[in-house]
Structure 1
Amino acid sequence: MSQRSEAVRDEFRRLRRRVVVTGWGAVTPLGVGVADTWAAMLAGRSGIRQLSAIDSGDLGSHIGGEIHDWDPEAHLPRKISRRTDSFAQYALAAAAEAVETAKLIIGPELAPRTGVLVGSGYGPVNYNSKLPDLLRDKGPRGISPLSQVTGAMDSAAVEISLLFGTTGPCRSLSTACATGTDSIGEAARLIQYGAVDVAIAGGADNCISRADLAGCGNARALSTRNEQPELASRPFDEDRDGFVMSSGAGVVVLEAAEHAIERGAPILAEVAGFGATSDAHHWTAPHPEGTGAKAAMREALRDAGVAPAEIDYINAHGTSTPLGDAREVRSIREVLGERATRIPVSSTKSMTGHMIGAGGAVELIVCGLAIRDGIVPPTINCDRPLDPEMNFVAHTAQRHDIRIAMNNSFGFGGHNAVLVLRRWEQ
């Protein structure tokens, strides 16, 4: 990078607005709502079960992280729940919780200064998978006139905008497993640049479908520990054999710090830094040297103005795949140096499974909760750590004073996104 480019970036960092989290919401296999999800994590409880929503008998993997006991009409108006795919329903429920937590009222003055950036890795796959059968069985008249909007990737973002009456930029971003983290990072930039004062941001997915499980299974990416579903997701364990497909949503309310302070909002944490890169290496395998992952971590640290020695906790991508986990650990060691073995590094995917586009957003919320409560959730099923010198918070939550946390998300296609979250200090 040229000296001029460096100077421009440094000047922007000096002038930009601070961004804070004032609300959060989640729908996960551990519970509907942040409180239930967090309580289950701290207890080391798994949300992985035998699949019930689809017939998986002829598939290699019969397990997943479904949203248990989901009743959309308990969370959404019926006219909305009837027209939306389940991934969008989860996003709407998480957004409603986030807005309520933030005590945010979006009136005529705030509406044009409020943006929505809620993405998805897979989008409305369950809704779209039904359309060919409807067309075959009922003909063209059987297809809803809303099918092209309900079946679109941006349907969750648009439904959130409609529900809350936001008239600022409304977008959907898709970067596979990095989607939630990327969406929050890009939304923070909108606030930093002054394009909006408030943003509703995050990710959602429900890709538990026969086609998606078959494809991931054929790529040998999924765990086949079918007889022991609660033990199947085992990040950083020597006996890991693949990730577990899960569903969910994570949404946060971001605000310019001065806006949040002026309205007396609860400030939960500060989004201090964001970095994103691409491997340009392989569709499903991470770069063998972790080049893109390391670059994203370093950029997030630089963007935050934080030294590696200041990181107190990492919520790792940690999906439980043989290649991915090993390369992430090596990348963390190279970026953080000796700090890597002195701090907790846990993967909550051991309990939730891999929620794809929702994963990074929920895990950012986890970082905020760890900062707030001074406790780090465990990596369950980590019986034989692949790196005995690292503290993977095996089995049981640990007490730590967390001031600065890092959230890693690395996805298929070589997408890498990292956020740095900091305790709010005015």
Structure 2
Amino acid sequence: MSQRRVVVTGLGTLNPLGHNTEESWANLLAGKSGAATIQQFDASLFKTQFACEVKDFNGADVFGRKDVRRLDPVMQYALVASDEAIADAKLEEVENKKRIGVFWASGIGGITTLQQEVQNYERGSGTPRFNPFLVPKMIVDASAGNISIRHGFRGPTGAFVTACASSTHCISLAYDQIRLSRADVMVVGGAEAAINAVGVGAFNALKALSTRNEDPSVASRPFDKDRDGFVIGEGAASLILEDYEHAKARGAKIYAEIIGVAQNADAYHITAPDPEGHGVIDVIQLALEDANIKAEDLDYLNPHSTSTDLGDIAESNAIIKALGDAAFKVKMSATKSMTGHMISAAGAMESLICIKTLQTGEIAPTINFEEFDPQIDSRLQITPNVKQSADLQIAMNMNYGFGGHNSAVIFKKITE
């Protein structure tokens, strides 16, 4: 079966650094941290009291007081990000909505709504009463459904949950829908809104979060010897994937081309990374093979690098094993140092960053870096603390999730 070329024609995001792509990109290049003391609930008794929250956002201002009551924050974030991407790609001008689909990710779904409803039940008395919107506000696939309904998109639609690899999997799977002619356009992305007592408390129990409460802005420090865990983030990011000929025919703006994807599993542990990195090595090499390129063709890499002790070591070693000497030439930046870890939205956000990096030739920094962990090879080009400029043609984004899920996607600069 002949396979079609797939390009990106729209971008959108709402995240701890901005309410749109332009604002977010400017703050990323400036090396701004999105971490601060938690405002959404009283975290004073928690081991971790800070996060990378979306700031100055009121869903009622966007959706109205009536409609916002039907939307958990995770769905509000998803709709804002996808609305921007859809408008950017001018998809409302496309008549055949049956050929436009939505693949959307969330690792935890409407956990804020679930927490509120359980608390209300515990505080109540007599006959249990639950909000009739509990289920549609809680289920993971509601974001994809809301995006589809809002815009009338009737193509392949669904939700994918592979923890922190979720939205990268969405991109990969949507890519296949288009190149195999099952759709012409796919709205893809991910959203997460888990900065609440359950989300923070649960990750604290896993000892996964940084506890640098005295100075949150420097807490997320991938590769650095003094890192002590990741900083939980929230928000959403969206990409519009489109058949190249379809995009050209309607005069769409094209940001980049997707040339390779891969997914696999560690088959090692439900939360811990494989210390030998077999799954990560394989997913990198599978993506390169799918793209029909060599390791030395890579110009930029946005690694998963969450600022956890074991994770950063295992990933950096796997990158070197997978790429060989090319690992010390490829430019890298661990942008979770600024956005925090947006869980399922991380892959879409970092893919957006890869695309902007190719488009602009500007490389966002890895902030808060002082000294390499002795177990991480210091020859890696991680763009410490200050942005760089370079002529870049090909970029890769990689993400991994609890359960041992791995996914990678490779983008190529469009020069036509």
Structures share fold, TM-score greater than 0.5: yes
> Is 1:424–2:411 an aligned residue pair?
no
Please report how far the alpha carbon of residue 133 of structure 1 lies from its aligned counterpart in structure 2 after TM superposition. 3.0
Equivalent position SS for 2:349:
helix
Q: Which residue of 2 aligns with 1:280?
A: 267
Q: Which residue of 2 aligns with 1:349?
A: 336
> Is 1:196–2:186 an aligned residue pair?
no
Could you tell which deviates more after superposition, 212-221 or 15-24?
212-221
The amino acid that maps onto 1:404 is: I
Please report how far the alpha carbon of residue 72 of structure 1 lies from its aligned counterpart in structure 2 after TM superposition. 1.2
Q: Relative to structure 1, is the Cα distance of residues 138 and 374 closer, same or farther in structure 2, using a 3 angstrom cutoff?
A: farther
Please report how far the alpha carbon of residue 58 of structure 1 lies from its aligned counterpart in structure 2 after TM superposition. 1.8
Q: Which residue of 1 aligns with 2:250?
A: 263
Partner Cα separation in structure 1 for residue 63 and residue 265 of structure 2? 37
The amino acid that maps onto 1:61 is: T
Q: Relative to structure 1, is the Cα distance of residues 17 and 217 closer, same or farther in structure 2, using a 3 angstrom cutoff?
A: same
Please report how far the alpha carbon of residue 146 of structure 1 lies from its aligned counterpart in structure 2 after TM superposition. 2.8
> Is 1:27–2:27 an aligned residue pair?
no
Q: Relative to structure 1, is the Cα distance of residues 200 and 317 closer, same or farther in structure 2, using a 3 angstrom cutoff?
A: same
Whether the 8 Å contact between 1:182 and 1:276 is mirrored in structure 2 is yes
Equivalent position SS for 1:55:
coil
Whether the 8 Å contact between 1:341 and 1:391 is mirrored in structure 2 is yes
Whether the 8 Å contact between 2:101 and 2:156 is mirrored in structure 1 is yes
Q: Which residue of 2 aligns with 1:3?
A: none
Please report how far the alpha carbon of residue 106 of structure 1 lies from its aligned counterpart in structure 2 after TM superposition. 5.5
Q: Which residue of 1 aligns with 2:216?
A: 229
Q: Which residue of 1 aligns with 2:385?
A: 395
Among 399, 406, 409, the residue aligned to 1:409: 399
Alignment of 1:139-154 (within 5 A): 142-154=129-141
Q: Which residue of 1 aligns with 2:98?
A: 112
Whether the 8 Å contact between 1:344 and 1:392 is mirrored in structure 2 is yes
> Is 1:180–2:167 an aligned residue pair?
yes
Alignment of 1:115-126 (within 5 A): 115-126=101-112
Please report how far the alpha carbon of residue 145 of structure 1 lies from its aligned counterpart in structure 2 after TM superposition. 2.5
Q: Relative to structure 1, is the Cα distance of residues 139 and 418 closer, same or farther in structure 2, using a 3 angstrom cutoff?
A: farther
Please report how far the alpha carbon of residue 151 of structure 1 lies from its aligned counterpart in structure 2 after TM superposition. 1.3
The amino acid that maps onto 2:367 is: I
* Gap runs ≥5 in structure 2: none
Q: Relative to structure 1, is the Cα distance of residues 134 and 239 closer, same or farther in structure 2, using a 3 angstrom cutoff?
A: same
Q: Which residue of 2 aligns with 1:298?
A: 285
Please report how far the alpha carbon of residue 402 of structure 1 lies from its aligned counterpart in structure 2 after TM superposition. 1.1
Q: Relative to structure 1, is the Cα distance of residues 190 and 237 closer, same or farther in structure 2, using a 3 angstrom cutoff?
A: same
Equivalent position SS for 1:30:
coil
Alignment of 1:317-356 (within 5 A): 317-356=304-343
The amino acid that maps onto 1:309 is: E
Partner Cα separation in structure 2 for residue 139 and residue 409 of structure 1? 47
Partner Cα separation in structure 2 for residue 138 and residue 423 of structure 1? 60
Partner Cα separation in structure 1 for residue 368 and residue 126 of structure 2? 49
The amino acid that maps onto 1:18 is: R
Please report how far the alpha carbon of residue 187 of structure 1 lies from its aligned counterpart in structure 2 after TM superposition. 0.7
- TM-score (norm. length: structure 1): 0.94
The amino acid that maps onto 1:337 is: G
Whether the 8 Å contact between 2:260 and 2:287 is mirrored in structure 1 is yes
Partner Cα separation in structure 1 for residue 127 and residue 158 of structure 2? 30
Please report how far the alpha carbon of residue 165 of structure 1 lies from its aligned counterpart in structure 2 after TM superposition. 0.6
Equivalent position SS for 1:203:
strand
Q: Which residue of 1 aligns with 2:232?
A: 245
Partner Cα separation in structure 2 for residue 199 and residue 140 of structure 1? 45
Equivalent position SS for 2:403:
helix
Whether the 8 Å contact between 1:60 and 1:224 is mirrored in structure 2 is yes
Equivalent position SS for 1:190:
helix
Q: Which residue of 1 aligns with 2:198?
A: 211
Q: Which residue of 1 aligns with 2:119?
A: 133
The amino acid that maps onto 1:70 is: F
Partner Cα separation in structure 1 for residue 116 and residue 238 of structure 2? 27
Among 346, 362, 369, the residue aligned to 1:382: 369
Could you give the per-residue CA deviations for residues 325-371 of structure 1, whole angstroms, max 9, x where no partner exists?
Answer: 11111111111111111121110000010000101101000000000
The amino acid that maps onto 1:422 is: K
Whether the 8 Å contact between 1:116 and 1:200 is mirrored in structure 2 is yes
Whether the 8 Å contact between 1:76 and 1:93 is mirrored in structure 2 is no
Among 147, 150, 153, the residue aligned to 1:166: 153
Equivalent position SS for 1:189:
helix
User: Could you say what the CA RMSD is over the residues aligned between the two structures, in angstroms?
Assistant: 1.4
Partner Cα separation in structure 2 for residue 53 and residue 289 of structure 1? 39
Q: Which residue of 1 aligns with 2:70?
A: 83
Please report how far the alpha carbon of residue 135 of structure 1 lies from its aligned counterpart in structure 2 after TM superposition. 3.5
Whether the 8 Å contact between 1:157 and 1:172 is mirrored in structure 2 is yes
Among 5, 29, 43, the residue aligned to 1:42: 29
Partner Cα separation in structure 1 for residue 186 and residue 129 of structure 2? 37
Partner Cα separation in structure 1 for residue 61 and residue 407 of structure 2? 34
Whether the 8 Å contact between 2:115 and 2:198 is mirrored in structure 1 is no
Alignment of 1:60-79 (within 5 A): 60-79=47-66
Q: Relative to structure 1, is the Cα distance of residues 298 and 229 closer, same or farther in structure 2, using a 3 angstrom cutoff?
A: same
Equivalent position SS for 2:28:
helix
Partner Cα separation in structure 1 for residue 346 and residue 142 of structure 2? 19
Please report how far the alpha carbon of residue 75 of structure 1 lies from its aligned counterpart in structure 2 after TM superposition. 2.9
Q: Relative to structure 1, is the Cα distance of residues 147 and 218 closer, same or farther in structure 2, using a 3 angstrom cutoff?
A: closer
Partner Cα separation in structure 2 for residue 52 and residue 63 of structure 1? 8
Partner Cα separation in structure 2 for residue 102 and residue 140 of structure 1? 50
* Gap runs ≥5 in structure 1: 1-11
